[in-house]
Amino acid sequence: MSTKVNRRDFLRAAGVGSGALVFGSYLTPALQAQGLIHNLINGFPVDGIPVVILKVNGDVVIITHRPEMGQGIRSSLAAVLADEMEADWKRVTLKQADADAKKYAVAFPAPVESDVPLPFPYNTLSKDPKLQYLISPEGSQFTDSSRSMTAYFTVMRLFGAGLRLAMIRAAAKKWGVDAKACRAEKHRVYGPSGQSSDYRWLLLGAKKETPTYDEISAALKKPEDFRYIGKGKEPMPFYDALDLVRGKSVFGADVELPGMLTAMIERCPVANGALMSYDAAPALAIDGVRAVLPMFPPGKRGGGVGRGFLPHAGVAVIATNTWAAWQGRRALKPTIKWHVSPHDTYNSVAFRKELEDATSKQGNAVRKLKDVDDAFAQVGVDTKEAHYYVPHLAQTPMEPPVAVAVFQNGKMEVWAPTQSPDYAQIWTGQVALGIDPCGMTDDVCNEKARQASTVHVTMLGGGFGRKSKPDYIVEAAMLAKQMPGVPIRVQWTREDDVKFSYYNAASSQYLKASLGADKLPTALLQRSALTSFFGTLIPNYSTPDLSQAEIKGAADLRAATFGGGAYPYASGIERAQGLEDMPYDIPNIRLENCKAENHIRVGWMRSVANVYHAFAINSFAGELAIAAGRDQKDYLLDLIGKDRIIDEKTFIDQSVERFRNNELPLAAIEVPTVKGGKANQVVAGFPPDTSRLRAVIEKVAQESDWTNKVAKYKNMKGRGLGIAAHRSFLSYVAVVVDASMSNDNKLTINDVYATIHCGLAVNRDRVLAQMEGGVVYGLSYALLGEITVKNGAVVQNNFDDYPVLRLNQTPRIHVSIVDSNEPPTGVGEPPTPAVAPALANAIAAAGGPRLRAMPFAAKNDSGSTDEKIVFL
């Protein structure tokens, strides 16, 4: 908050004076706290209350607005509120919110006077001049980028503390004592002379209480008083555990509606393809098959490059049960003819060469410090260079995509496991309205679409980015629209999931360094080519059948959206994930982004662009260290240099700034609590801070007994340690791998150590669980993961030819957390990126080959010339 705005004006602008509550545009937490108590106790509809409901018996229903996909966020956010409220967890139930992005957005009103600067540059994406969002509607329920806790920790605390304060004041008035002499503990308020009362009996009094924002802020607990948060007095609750182990939790496929039919869809194997013809008769001859419906009319292209969340072209078989639909689909398949050009010329082997050619030439500089060319041109200078490659990867969440939709009275109602309730609502609403779902439409159109669809969010059987894209939900809506009144469940097979993902980008990375006498780099050049997901989300010249005007319009949109960029180059988001924030302290730096087109759908997978950026830079660091005969850990710390904030002035594109914070200036949320704080101080957010990177490296070295083991393994043949460290989604992770290599090139991973700095670890057990799982996920793709494409169609099918790590292949994993009371940062995505390079460095240290291309493990039919190892 600028010092020019006094808080009273601010609250008035927020609507406090009017007494009206506008839940669609979140105002201030204090207002919410007041409003919800008022509403609850006065019996206003539950719908008007966004976060918490107090029942007449004092029990608490907490609305969990972020989708649950295994990160434990339902429990974590609710427990944060319960902790501050001093609610007894036994009296808490959770209710999953429907899609309602605006309700859960966190906004401040726009300046009411022209001289009131808002304390952050994060202008709203909604273009609504009245609101400045801290958490935009686009991000309020979008469970992605590891931002749930970062964004809502303070908000939930304020709600809880506001309720506690109101209860305490109500009790104090009832007893005629000073509120300051009362305290709350587990659903009871205790007075100075032994009085006590359950919250239940204080509801009527509490509703009259209107604690101000400042009072609520002042009432927030100190870390040592936390009950569940961090190292609280009691274990953090895990609300869903019992239902999950009993098979009672409702995932997408478990939704059952009267009269529901199941659809399976045979899809065009190539992006942007179209249906030419099909024969429904063989499918209709199968018992239980009720209908055969094309997703688009013959001749009309379906989803693919530049088509956002539009489903691929396809033909659906709709039946009374899954097996009948599956059988019908088998009968249908041979009758279908597709139009597959132009992307049927896409072959991933040839494309890799294209990518490597691109990184062999100069690209667009995205960050520059002095001049690398001069350093490279020094006479007699020692240089080292390497190319790294990461193929397309599929997320393969355990639950294949599935969604249920019913269309009646002009409205769509949807049940789906989705990471992006808002995207799902907008796109299915467009289907309901008969608008060709085009995505990225204007606000008015989006708002109309939201009104036309209700989206119920089920439990997600894993997400990993796949379920950020609602194409499978749009499919259910498209079919429901064609059969009004009949609930339709679209069930994907694992083969569908593997063949119709939004794949993580394929990427080539080129690194070159010149070395000084101390063997540390005097200059570093990194070139990154990656198939940006914006090539899939926004139309471009690779999208067939577009006019020049449409291509131009799309180019303008892209330039203005999410960090900008132009096809076929990376977006600001991708550049900010491990390229522009490269942490090494080197006197001459040039980081470049090179060209890479889209020919299949590209999306994102756990840790996104960090996958290839972390792999390349950390592998290169390991190569330099080993070549120099230095200890990898010491060399890495030397590269990182003295503790500092990465100087963003060296970024070529300053618009990337907001991605530095994942659009989450949490500090700004706390602005009003920072008395006299200067705007730019509180806006600082979470810039790359090398002291945190050093902290995780030092801790993981300690946990892994690095120094002693290095000394011990020096005299042992075939055993070695590798280290890597990476910042992503505002958190810092270091990984040490202890590996053995046999004479016949067989890898054994003995131990993996991983340490995270995520600010305050709110739910410590789930942070540890995310770290364990993140290591497994990282090992999976490093060793085994590869999607290849022939003639535009994905080659792999199921877990037999797209293998993932299994229990018997999983090494001992030791995870740890750097203690901190700083604002919390992400824990879902950050554990994975450092795993692959730490493993590659360990393999090299153990006398194995230097692996510069994933996957590391040889496959019988790969025909690749890359170095490989054997992993059983």
Partner 1 sequence: MSVFQLNVNGKVHSVDIDGNMPLLWAIRDVLGLKGTKFGCGVAQCGACTVHLDGKAARSCITDVGVAALSKIKTIEGLSYDGSHPCQKMWVELGVPQCGFCQPGQIMTAAALLDEHPHPDDATIDAYMSGNICRCGTYPRIKDAIRRLGGSATS
Binding site for partner 1 (CB under 8 A): 68-72, 238, 240-242, 244-251, 253-254, 256, 262, 287, 321-324, 327, 396-400, 459-464, 491, 493-495, 765-766, 769-770, 772-777, 780, 798-800, 804-810, 812-813
CA distance 301 to 275: 7
Nearest Cα residue to 504 out of 579, 369, 603, 595: 603
CA distance 727 to 384: 24
Nearer to partner 1, 175 or 464 (CB): 464
Nearer to partner 1, 460 or 625 (CB): 460
Structure-token pair, residue 76 = 């974590």
Ramachandran sector of residue 199 (left: φ over 0; alpha: ψ -120 to 50; beta: rest):
alpha
Structure-token pair, residue 790 = 């022939």
Nearest Cα residue to 121 out of 130, 112, 134, 109: 134
CA distance 322 to 263: 7
- Give burial (CB, 10 Å; 0-12/13-18/19+) of 383: middle
Match 């009646």 to its residue by tokens. 408
Residues 834/835/837/840 CA torsion (nearest 10 deg): 170
Minimum separation from the CB atom of position 451 to partner 1 (A): 31
Minimum separation from the CB atom of position 435 to partner 1 (A): 33
CA distance 71 to 692: 23
Minimum separation from the CB atom of position 765 to partner 1 (A): 5
Q: At what angle do helices 471-482 and 421-433 cross, to 10 degrees?
A: 30
Minimum separation from the CB atom of position 835 to partner 1 (A): 11
What single letter denotes the amino acid at residue 348?
A: S
Integer-rounded Cα radius of gyration of the chain: 28
Minimum separation from the CB atom of position 764 to partner 1 (A): 11
Count of Cβ atoms closer than 10 Å to residue 775 Cβ: 28
Residues in the chain: 872
- Phi, psi angle pair for 512, to nearest 5°: -140, 140
Bond preceding residue 855 cis, omega within 30 of 0: yes
Minimum separation from the CB atom of position 326 to partner 1 (A): 8
Minimum separation from the CB atom of position 652 to partner 1 (A): 37
Minimum separation from the CB atom of position 511 to partner 1 (A): 29
Nearer to partner 1, 359 or 468 (CB): 468
Nearer to partner 1, 43 or 247 (CB): 247
Nearest Cα residue to 823 out of 636, 666, 715: 666
Minimum separation from the CB atom of position 327 to partner 1 (A): 8
Minimum separation from the CB atom of position 668 to partner 1 (A): 31
Nearer to partner 1, 68 or 138 (CB): 68
Nearer to partner 1, 202 or 775 (CB): 775
- Phi, psi angle pair for 493, to nearest 5°: -90, 170
3-class state of residue 728 by DSSP: strand
Nearer to partner 1, 358 or 402 (CB): 402
CA distance 278 to 328: 13
Q: Reduce the secondary structure of 345-408 to three states and give it as a string.
A: HCCHHHHHHHHHHHHCCCCEEEEEECCHHHHHHCCCCEEEEEEEEECEECCCCCCCCEEEEEEE
Task: Name, in order, each residue with C-beta under 8 angstroms of 712's C-beta and a sequence gap of 6 or more.
Answer: none
Nearer to partner 1, 502 or 777 (CB): 777
CA distance 66 to 94: 12
Minimum separation from the CB atom of position 832 to partner 1 (A): 10
Nearer to partner 1, 337 or 812 (CB): 812
Nearer to partner 1, 620 or 871 (CB): 871
The residues with which 109 forms a beta bridge, in sequence order, are 131
| Cβ(11)–Cβ(30) below 8 Å | yes
Minimum separation from the CB atom of position 323 to partner 1 (A): 4
CA distance 738 to 757: 21
Minimum separation from the CB atom of position 803 to partner 1 (A): 9
Nearest Cα residue to 492 out of 326, 615, 620: 326
Minimum separation from the CB atom of position 844 to partner 1 (A): 25
Angle CA 444–449–453, to nearest 5: 150
Angle CA 113–117–119, to nearest 5: 140
3-class state of residue 539 by DSSP: coil
Nearer to partner 1, 74 or 307 (CB): 74
Nearest Cα residue to 453 out of 495, 388, 405: 405
Nearer to partner 1, 256 or 385 (CB): 256
Please tell me the chain's helix, strand, coil percentages from 3-state DSSP, rounded to the nearest 5: 35, 20, 45
Nearer to partner 1, 254 or 822 (CB): 254
Nearer to partner 1, 552 or 806 (CB): 806
Nearer to partner 1, 406 or 639 (CB): 406
Nearer to partner 1, 244 or 555 (CB): 244
Task: Name, in order, each residue with C-beta under 8 angstroms of 513's C-beta and a sequence gap of 6 or more.
Answer: 383, 384, 385, 521, 522, 523, 524, 525, 586, 620, 624
Minimum separation from the CB atom of position 371 to partner 1 (A): 44
Nearer to partner 1, 778 or 792 (CB): 778
CA distance 120 to 679: 7
Sheet holding 52-54, edge to edge: 52-54, 60-64, 92-96
Nearer to partner 1, 366 or 762 (CB): 762
Minimum separation from the CB atom of position 25 to partner 1 (A): 33
Match 């100190």 to its residue by tokens. 222
